[in-house]
Structure 1
Amino acid sequence: MVKGLEDLSAKLYNRLTHSKVSPVPSHSHTLLQNPVSTVDADSPIFSPNSFYGRVRHFAAITDPRLVFTPNRELFKAKALLDSVRQGNEVQASPSELRRAKVLYGSAFHPDSGELQNVMGRMCFNVYGSTLMCGGMMVFYRSTAGVFFWQWANQSFNALVNYTNRNAKSPLTKKDLITAYTSAVSGALGVAFGLKWFCAWKKLGVMWQRLVPITAVCVANFINIPLMRQNELKYGMSVSDADGNEVGKSKTAAFKAISQVAFSRNLIVIPSMVLTPLIVDATAVRWKWFAKNLKVLNLPVQLGLIFVLFGAMVPVGCGLFPQKSSIKVDSLKRFEPETYEELKALGLERVYFNKGLLRSR
């Protein structure tokens, strides 16, 4: 059964990332506008203007199979794109350029161009999160299990956030430690608090199973803002329609961080909520499954989490446009100085990159 689920996951990624799409005129804004760029090394492979295009883009660069790509192939792809950026003629077909973009986007930091550590890459996220979610869901009754898996999950999240951090807003060691300890404390506090409440009220198993996901969601709303606290303190860069930086805005930072935190929770909720429901329904429907539940429970849960989480990563990452915008008038109340500066430039709307993940 697990083998079948993994095959289904592979087919899903193949369908999203390798299906053929006919070119559409640039002035069209239809859902299927996903032209492939063969000239600009930094332009997205699929249209970022549609939800479907963004999902296909992130499905390509977060494909878990990319984790096994050798470093020599990754650096070869980087060298090819660097050569294109320099204006050199390259002996590469459109499909090779497309493949190079996918490999680069999966393994290199979009700001610094440095090779990311393997476990912090988003293409590794489905493996790490499957293990973490599985541990939290299987050992939700054990006090030691709750402590260990909540701590392990927040440690893994901190690694992912740090690996994909905004290089233009560096954090000090103190900032990183504060974000990490706050997220761990928040997750453990919620987990143990709800665990005690469920025991006190003698709530059923289904309610107890919701404790891990609640703790994870709360921790995400703590960890992500703290990891990007400098943007909230000093504002994040905003630009005009042509991409020219025109200032910094705290309001833009708040909107960007809120979108990222919401997306991260959207990614994890289906796998941690639907998995136990599917397992329970299967046990009720098939007696042979119920009889062998002790043996099948762990592999089946891990398989379901792998498929559901893997499917939701590109959906969550593509939920909001990477290049978001806000009206300048919305800054008048909370950022009057920034409002006046932008109005003096004759701007009605400014744009910003929402952050993790950033497209390229």
Structure 2
Amino acid sequence: MASTNEETNPCGSCKLNVDIDKPRWDQSTFTGRLRHFCSITDPRKALVSESKLENAKNTVLAYRAGNCIGDTTKDQLWNAKQLYDSAFHPDSGERMTLLGRMSFQVPGGMAITGLMLQFYKTPVQVALMQWANQSFNALVNYTNRNAASQTSSKQMLFAYASATTTALGVAVSLNHFSRKARPVVARWVPFAAVALGNAVNIPLSRQSELKDGVIITDADGNVLGKSKKCAQIGISQVVFSRVLMAAPGMICLPLIMERLIKKQWFRSRTWLHLPFQTTAVGVFLLFMVPLGCAVFPQRASMAVQDLEADVRMSINKEHGGSIQTVYFNKGL
């Protein structure tokens, strides 16, 4: 009977033999990271109820503790883990606000980007759209920050104000100068503002990491200290990824709109312009959000020899040169 129970009741790590503390797919390859982030950024996960999220969390925590998880199969366990990853912060384990989750990037991004691409002609429209976009970006940046590095409310407010001011200044200025250029140039103004806004917003939102460093660990997760260089690398990768996510939709759609606007049937149906652009942006983001996240590993690494001198010396003194690579969470 004992043997039968073991076969029909696969509970605990000894039965399922799954390491859920690592992603399901190999994160050293782009394909593996893409599959991982497709599961996390799936917009359908933004619609999952709180009770299902809690059930997923309980399943993950129970499995980690080695407790029985009933008749849960490997696929069910992985589904619970992916749902857990989509809604709970990887550092703190706290449930993230819905609007800041990566699973909300497609619906949230398509709505705001669609509005930016539609309302770009007057300074007031540009200002309002950039304010809305930077507000959304600030929330996403804060939600997906490296939670091991504390950022005060004052610092976050300064980052938000600085990024919004930068984006507004760039957008309004370019909007003014683009009036003498080809019509499509004015349609590209929102992207320029978004790119520069991200370049300001993300570093300032995570300025504590740049100032104090980000926690670095060995391959087994043992904390080795903090590194400012790792923080710089991680934040620069996040900036690049965010701009990459937005680029195809905000660069290609203006070209498409300029071609369509020349057709009488489309030009006369002005009510169709906003939903068309919003839907098209959503299609772009559906592919670009996981792709942008997958460009760089979330668990980033750096050779010990490339760290700051004091951090490198501390690690070598403590571990006798046995550690060659350190790891850190770059955030999203």
**TM-score greater than 0.5 by the shorter chain:** yes
TM-score where L is the length of structure 2 = 0.89
Number of aligned positions between the proteins: 313
Residue 289 of structure 2 aligns with an amino acid whose one-letter code is V
Equivalent residue, structure 1, for 2:222: 244
Equivalent residue, structure 2, for 1:342: 315
Work out whether 1:78 is the aligned partner of 2:51: no
Deviation of 1:240 after TM superposition, in Å, equals 2.2
Distance 1:209 1:283 in 2: 13
User: Does the CA-based 8 Å contact 2:148-2:214 persist in structure 1?
Assistant: no
Work out whether 1:306 is the aligned partner of 2:282: yes
User: Does the CA-based 8 Å contact 2:146-2:330 persist in structure 1?
Assistant: no
Distance 1:179 1:283 in 2: 38
2:209 to 215, 223, 231: 231
Equivalent residue, structure 2, for 1:184: 164
Deviation of 1:165 after TM superposition, in Å, equals 2.2
Deviation of 1:293 after TM superposition, in Å, equals 4.3
User: Does the CA-based 8 Å contact 2:188-2:254 persist in structure 1?
Assistant: no
Deviation of 1:66 after TM superposition, in Å, equals 1.3
Equivalent residue, structure 1, for 2:9: none
Unaligned runs of 5+ in 1: 1-36
Distance 2:219 2:91 in 1: 20
After TM superposition, the structure 1 stretch with the greater mean CA deviation from structure 2, 340-349 or 246-255, is 340-349
1:124 to 104, 124, 132: 104
TM-score where L is the length of structure 1 = 0.83
Distance 2:101 2:211 in 1: 27
User: Does the CA-based 8 Å contact 1:40-1:84 persist in structure 2?
Assistant: no
Deviation of 1:296 after TM superposition, in Å, equals 2.2
User: Does the CA-based 8 Å contact 1:140-1:208 persist in structure 2?
Assistant: yes
Residue 292 of structure 2 aligns with an amino acid whose one-letter code is G
Moved beyond 4 Å, runs of 4+: none
Distance 2:269 2:128 in 1: 24
Q: How does 1:16-165 map to 2 (within 5 A)?
A: 39-91=18-70, 92-165=72-145
Deviation of 1:40 after TM superposition, in Å, equals 2.5
Residue 242 of structure 2 aligns with an amino acid whose one-letter code is R
User: Does the CA-based 8 Å contact 1:38-1:98 persist in structure 2?
Assistant: no
Deviation of 1:38 after TM superposition, in Å, equals 5.6
Deviation of 1:143 after TM superposition, in Å, equals 1.5
Distance 2:47 2:132 in 1: 23
Residue 69 of structure 1 aligns with an amino acid whose one-letter code is V
Query: Structure 1 pair 133/293, CA: closer, same or farther in 2 (3 Å)?
Result: same
Deviation of 1:336 after TM superposition, in Å, equals 2.3
Q: Which has the higher helix share?
A: 2
Tell me the secondary structure at the aligned position of residue 351 of structure 1: strand
For residues 305-326 of structure 1, what are the alpha-carbon distances to aligned partners after superposition, in whole Å with 9 as ceiling and x for unaligned?
0000121000000101122222
After TM superposition, the structure 1 stretch with the greater mean CA deviation from structure 2, 108-117 or 46-55, is 108-117
Tell me the secondary structure at the aligned position of residue 247 of structure 1: strand
Distance 1:135 1:283 in 2: 17
For residues 155-186 of structure 1, what are the alpha-carbon distances to aligned partners after superposition, in whole Å with 9 as ceiling and x for unaligned?
01111112222221111111111111011011
Query: Structure 1 pair 38/134, CA: closer, same or farther in 2 (3 Å)?
Result: farther
Deviation of 1:97 after TM superposition, in Å, equals 0.8
User: Does the CA-based 8 Å contact 2:217-2:328 persist in structure 1?
Assistant: yes
Residue 312 of structure 1 aligns with an amino acid whose one-letter code is M
Deviation of 1:52 after TM superposition, in Å, equals 0.7
Distance 2:53 2:196 in 1: 36
User: Does the CA-based 8 Å contact 2:115-2:274 persist in structure 1?
Assistant: no
User: Does the CA-based 8 Å contact 1:119-1:128 persist in structure 2?
Assistant: yes
State percent identity of aligned pairs: 46
Deviation of 1:283 after TM superposition, in Å, equals 5.1
Distance 2:21 2:305 in 1: 32
For residues 86-137 of structure 1, what are the alpha-carbon distances to aligned partners after superposition, in whole Å with 9 as ceiling and x for unaligned?
1012220122112111211111122222222211111111111111111111
Distance 1:132 1:38 in 2: 43
Tell me the secondary structure at the aligned position of residue 103 of structure 2: coil
Unaligned runs of 5+ in 2: 1-15
2:232 to 236, 254, 260: 254
After TM superposition, the structure 1 stretch with the greater mean CA deviation from structure 2, 107-116 or 84-93, is 107-116
1:330 to 287, 306, 329: 306
Deviation of 1:73 after TM superposition, in Å, equals 0.9
For residues 231-254 of structure 1, what are the alpha-carbon distances to aligned partners after superposition, in whole Å with 9 as ceiling and x for unaligned?
111111122233222121111111
Q: How does 1:8-19 map to 2 (within 5 A)?
A: none
Equivalent residue, structure 2, for 1:30: none
Residue 236 of structure 2 aligns with an amino acid whose one-letter code is S
Distance 2:153 2:270 in 1: 44
